[in-house]
Amino acid sequence: MGIESVLNLAAFLVTMAAAFGYLNHRWLKLPHTVGLVVIALFASLTALLIDALAPTLGFGPAVRGALTDIDLYDTLMKGMLGFLLFAGALHVDLDDLLQRRWAISILATVGILTSTAIVGGLTYAGWRALGFDVGWLPCLIFGALISPTDPIAVLGILKRLSVPPTLEAKIAGESLFNDGVGVVVFTVLAGLGAGGAAAVDVSPVAVVELLVTEVLGGVALGLVAGYVTYRLMRRLDEHNLEVMMTLALVMATTALAARWHFSGPLAVVVAGLFIGNHGARFAMSANTREHIETFWSLLDEILNSVLFLIIGFEVVALSLSGAVVAAVALTIPVVLAARFVSVAGPITLLRPWRTFTPGAIPVLTWGGLRGGISVALVLSLPPSPVRELLLAATYGVVIFSIVVQGLTIERVVRRSVVAAN
């Protein structure tokens, strides 16, 4: 895609995000990201209806053609994700995170592995009962890509909820770190699925090496990049330049992580936590802090809007049938059940040594939203007989998560946390 096409596409997406955001603010009055997904879904379904009623207009193929120009995997994982994670990490209290490091670590690792296994096993049984010829491996791959909670969606919801700080730290911490683990598990399973010609070595030694390199390398890179930027920011008090330095920090960290095969998301999160906590306290004036927070809040809002708009539009690309719709309807409760077990198990085991907020299990279960990361991962899969099923199941879970769970999580918090207190 040429630079002119990129600019035209960006202009279209930002314009649509602004227009749909206005419609939502004036009439629907839903939470911003939820409203964008709902309106984009309505626009997508309208396009499909027009195409069904008047196929000669070529409306459907034109929309699908426009969507194929958006490589969501590259757009999100190699572009937008770093900025969104950094913006989210800037506002997370590192002290709260460190106090709950064991709970967050277990939820982000054991929880992901548990959920992957449960989703894989139950979808294998359920989809085969519906007549789909699927094997174990595609179901486990689906479990790996759908298990990580999406930090972008979760942090967006947390902004408008009155959640106790202890519980908020667990939700935010898990969502920021579990996607890195989920991507590694997905990479290993997808490598197995590619067979002997796979670019990924999936021997036990190679898997451990991949985990160590991705996780430890990402954390180390984030710490070094954050510390260097912090030291430079301490030497000056010029808010425009310091805002530019945080922008450069994200871009350089993402590029270096990709080059050295480290986890880019983890590196950016660690750098964001460092700058948002240590940097904000010791390297920024009040004026600089205000400008940095304003800049990153605005950038976060714009990129979030565009991302959720794309998620709503991408439904046009799905190939749906009665059997596929039934499979999606089966998959949603399976994913919720797996989320419940992967949250309740670690919390129950840790209760003798750790104190948890009353209602933590239902809030963590229902608040574990899925979003763009799951969609980007499933779109990265090569063509196969089951790819359309995995794509439809992923979209079904993501749309249910954003719209239904996103709209009702406040009620769950009130009933589970507030009532318990």
For 191-215, write each residue's pLDDT tens digit.
876 544 445 566 777 777 877 888 8
Please give the residue that has the higher pLDDT: either 306 or 202.
Answer: 306
For the chain, residues classed under CATH 1.20.1530.20 are 72-418
Please say if the pLDDT value at position 33 is more than 60: yes
- H-run or E-run covering 211: helix 204-234
Whether 352 and 128 have beta carbons less than 8 Å apart is answered as: no
Residue 353 token pair: 């040594």
Whether 337 and 118 have beta carbons less than 8 Å apart is answered as: yes
Q: What is the DSSP letter of 326?
A: H
Give the lowest-confidence range in 165-179, 216-230, 233-247, 317-331.
165-179
* Best mean pLDDT range from 2-11, 109-118, 177-186: 109-118
Region of 118 on the Ramachandran plot (φ > 0 left; ψ -120 to 50 alpha; else beta): alpha
Write down the pLDDT at residue 162.
73
Residue 18 token pair: 């602004």
Please say if the pLDDT value at position 356 is more than 60: yes
Whether 176 and 100 have beta carbons less than 8 Å apart is answered as: no
What is the distance between the terminal CA atoms of the chain, rounded to a whole angstrom? 55
pLDDT interval class at 77 (50, 70, 90): confident
Instruction: For residues 176 and 15, give the distance between their C-alpha atoms in angstroms, rounded to a whole number.
Output: 29
Write down the pLDDT at residue 362.
94
Please say if the pLDDT value at position 401 is more than 70: yes
Instruction: Find tokens 């596929």 and name the residue.
Output: 324
Segment 163-190 shows an average pLDDT of 85
pLDDT interval class at 421 (50, 70, 90): low
Write down the pLDDT at residue 366.
94
Write down the pLDDT at residue 201.
61
CB atoms within 10 A of CB 39: 22
For 370-400, write each residue's pLDDT tens digit.
988 898 899 888 888 899 999 999 999 999 9
Q: What is the DSSP letter of 92?
A: S
CATH architecture of the domain covering 72-418: Up-down Bundle (1.20)
Write down the pLDDT at residue 197.
40
pLDDT interval class at 419 (50, 70, 90): low
For 233-276, write each residue's pLDDT tens digit.
999 999 999 999 999 999 999 999 999 989 898 999 999 999 99
For 19-31, write each residue's pLDDT tens digit.
999 999 999 999 8
Please say if the pLDDT value at position 88 is more than 60: yes
Instruction: For residues 45 and 64, give the distance between their C-alpha atoms in angstroms, rounded to a whole number.
Output: 12
Write down the pLDDT at residue 238.
95
Write down the pLDDT at residue 2.
66
Write down the pLDDT at residue 202.
61
Write down the pLDDT at residue 200.
56
Segment 30-56 shows an average pLDDT of 86
pLDDT, averaged across the chain? 88
Instruction: For residues 392 and 400, give the distance between their C-alpha atoms in angstroms, rounded to a whole number.
Output: 12
Write down the pLDDT at residue 8.
82
Write down the pLDDT at residue 194.
58
Write down the pLDDT at residue 290.
96
Instruction: For residues 183 and 151, give the distance between their C-alpha atoms in angstroms, rounded to a whole number.
Output: 13
State percent of the chain over pLDDT 70. Answer: 94
Instruction: For residues 168 and 51, give the distance between their C-alpha atoms in angstroms, rounded to a whole number.
Output: 45
Instruction: For residues 153 and 157, give the distance between their C-alpha atoms in angstroms, rounded to a whole number.
Output: 6
Write down the pLDDT at residue 131.
95
Write down the pLDDT at residue 198.
45
